[in-house]
Amino acid sequence: MENLSYTASELMCINAARLLRDGDVVFVGVGLPNLACNLARRTHAPNLQMIYEAGVIGARPARLPLSIGDPTLVSGASSVCSMYDIFTLYLQRGNVDVGFLGGAQIDRYANINATVIGDYAHPKVRLPGSGGSQEMAAWANRCYIMTPHQKRRFPEKVDFCTSAGFLSGRAEREAAGVRGGGPLMVVTNLGCMEPDETGELILTALHPGCTVEQVKENTGWPIKIATNLKTTEPVLESELNLLRNELDPEGIYLKG
């Protein structure tokens, strides 16, 4: 088989798309999650329902959305509602299957920091904050995280817990009584991490050509390796063609 070349973003996007099931209701963010959802809808999940925190349900974007509230999300959508409705009727009520999350830091127990580096009251680096992330991480049935594999992004413990993964372990999340299952997988440019029975992220798959050593070097805690470590399915030319020629032809999100 010939070797395809692709960017880290393309690799993550294609692997994230494969996590979606036909008929899933997905709470979509702009950028890579949006591309992953549209790729899934154009391949194995034609009945994917895309909903956006701005209050758009069943979006069918005709062009690449450039913000979370792009007008192309509305034209041709099945419904539009207020943000209060989206967060209550849809998310809090339990009508969302999948949420995509991201952040500056993801820790050993998949907790997410999108708020601050350093002390909250005296921020060293002030990040955007929660937006819809705090509730999505709690209440979506399944959450997925997509982020490049770098040591500074994967510290032992987040500086600030914007959105709950498994806190200090699964028992603590369960004690809080939140309805969602929490992060099920972290997709990086090196492979995939999944929570074990305690909620700790362990390496469960490598992308073709990537190594355990690379993952260890780029993770901020001594990461455990699954005994049945897998290799992800190779990227298909058809997936790359859809991304490059139709979904993000200018390479706005896929260049890096």
Partner 1 sequence: MSKLCTLSEAIAQYVHDGDTVYCAGFTHLIPFAAGHEIIRQKRRNLILARATPDLIYDQMVAAGCAKKLIFSYIGNPGVGSLRIVRNELEAGRLEWEEYSHFGMISRLQAGAAGLPFIPMNQTAATDLEKNNPNIRRVKDPYTGVEVITVPPLHPDVAIIHVQRADKNGNAHIWGIIGEQKEVAFAAKHVIITAEEIVDESVIRSAPNRTLIPELIVSAVCHVPHCAHPSYTQGYYDRDNAFYLNWDKISEDPAKVQAWLDEWVYGVKDAAEYWQKLGPETHQRLQVHPRPAAAVDYGEY
Tokens 């009727």 identify what position?
Answer: 89
Q: How far is the CB of 8 from partner 1 (least distance, A)?
A: 18
> Under the criterion CB under 8 A, does residue 84 sit at the interface with partner 1?
yes
Q: How far is the CB of 27 from partner 1 (least distance, A)?
A: 12
In the list 44, 60, 126, 255, the residue contacting partner 1 (rule: CB under 8 A) is 126
Contact predicate 215/200, CB 8 Å: no
> Under the criterion CB under 8 A, does residue 238 sit at the interface with partner 1?
no
Instruction: Compute the distance between CA of residue 62 and CA of residue 192 in angstroms, rounded to an integer.
Output: 31
Q: Are strands 112-113 and 105-106 parallel, antiparallel or unpaired?
A: antiparallel
List binders of partner 1 among 24-63 (CB under 8 A).
30, 53-56
Distances (CA, A) of 17 to 33, 169, 194, 197, 219: 8, 28, 16, 25, 24
Q: Are strands 25-28 and 98-101 parallel, antiparallel or unpaired?
A: parallel
Q: How far is the CB of 207 from partner 1 (least distance, A)?
A: 27
In the list 16, 36, 50, 164, the residue contacting partner 1 (rule: CB under 8 A) is 164
> Under the criterion CB under 8 A, does residue 122 sit at the interface with partner 1?
yes
113/189 with CB nearer partner 1: 113
Q: How far is the CB of 78 from partner 1 (least distance, A)?
A: 13
Distances (CA, A) of 181 to 73, 99, 141, 238, 256: 28, 11, 5, 32, 31
Instruction: Compute the distance between CA of residue 14 and CA of residue 17 in angstroms, rounded to an integer.
Output: 5
Strand partners, 112: 106, 163
Indicate which residues carry an active-site annotation: 53
Residues interacting with partner 1, by CB under 8 A? Answer: 30, 53-56, 66-71, 73-75, 80-84, 87, 91-92, 111, 115, 120-126, 128-135, 137-139, 160-164, 167, 172-173, 176-179
